[in-house]
Structure 1
Amino acid sequence: MFKVSLFSNKKALERFALFQLAVIMITILCSYKIAYAYTHIIEQNLILNILFGVIGFVVVAVIHEFIHNLLFRGFSKGNKPIHRFHFGIISTHMPNVYFKKWQYAIIMLTPLVVITTVLSILFLFFSYSSLIFIGSFHIGYCLLDLYFVMGVLNNKVKYIEDTEEGLIYYTESPLQEVQSETK
Structure 2
Amino acid sequence: MNKYVLDIFKDQDALKTLNKWSILITLGAFILFYLFEVLFTNTTGSAVIGWSPLELLLSVILIFLIIFAVITVHEAIHGLFFKLFRPRGNVKFGYSKGMFYATSPGEVFRRHEFKIIIIMPFIIITALMMMIWFIVPHASIKYFLALHTGACAGDFYYLHLLNKHPEMQYVEDTDVGMTMYESHPDG
Of residues 73, 77, 80, the one that matches 1:67 is 77
Give the letter aligned to residue 130 of structure 1.
Answer: S
Larger helix proportion, structure 1 or 2? Answer: 1
**In the aligned structure 2, how far is the partner of 1:168 from the partner of 1:38?**
42
What is the distance in 2 between the residues matched to 1:172 and 1:76? 18
Distance 1:139 1:45 in 2: 21
Aligned-partner SS, 2:46: coil
Give the unaligned 5+ runs of structure 2: 49-56
3-state SS in 2 of match to 1:33: helix
Change (3 A) 1:15 1:51: farther
Report the counterpart of residue 180 of structure 1 in structure 2: none
1:137-170 Cα offsets, whole Å, 9 max, x none, are 1111112112112232232111101111211000
SS at match of 2:132: helix
The residue that corresponds to 2:98 in the other structure is 88
Distance 1:120 1:163 in 2: 32
CA distance in 1, matches of 2:18, 2:58: 27
* 2:52 alignment counterpart: none
Q: After TM superposition, give the deviation of residue 98 of structure 1 in Å.
A: 0.3
Greater mean deviation of Cα atoms: 61-70 or 149-158: 149-158
Moved more, 72-81 or 132-141: 72-81
CA distance in 2, matches of 1:72, 1:48: 36
Is residue 115 of structure 1 aligned with residue 125 of structure 2?
yes
Report which structure shows greater RCO (CA 8 Å, sep ≥6).
2
> Hey, what does 1:175 align to over in structure 2?
186
Matched, 1:23 2:25: yes
CA RMSD of aligned residues (A): 2.1
| Structure-to-structure mapping, 1:36-55, within 5 angstroms | 36-45=38-47, 52-55=62-65
Mean Cα deviation higher: 54-63 or 95-104: 54-63
- Residue of 152, 156, 165 corresponding to 2:167: 156
**TM-score w.r.t. structure 1 length?**
0.86
Q: Which one-letter code corresponds to 1:163 in the other structure?
A: T
Query: Cα offset for 1:81?
Result: 1.0
Deviates more, 1:155-164 or 1:51-60: 51-60
SS in structure 2 at match of 1:92: strand
Percent identical among aligned pairs is: 20
The Cα of 1:52 is off from its aligned counterpart by: 4.8
**Counterparts of 1:137 and 1:30 in 2: how far apart (Å)?**
12
Indicate the residue corresponding to 2:54 in structure 1: none
Deviations 1:88-130 (A, max 9, x none): 2110111111000111011111111111000000000111111
CA contact (8 A) 2:126 2:145 kept: yes
Runs of 5+ consecutive residues of structure 1 not aligned to the other structure = 177-183
Contact 1:69 1:81 (C-alpha < 8 Å) held by counterparts = yes
**What is aligned with 1:179?**
none
How many residue pairs align between the two structures?
176
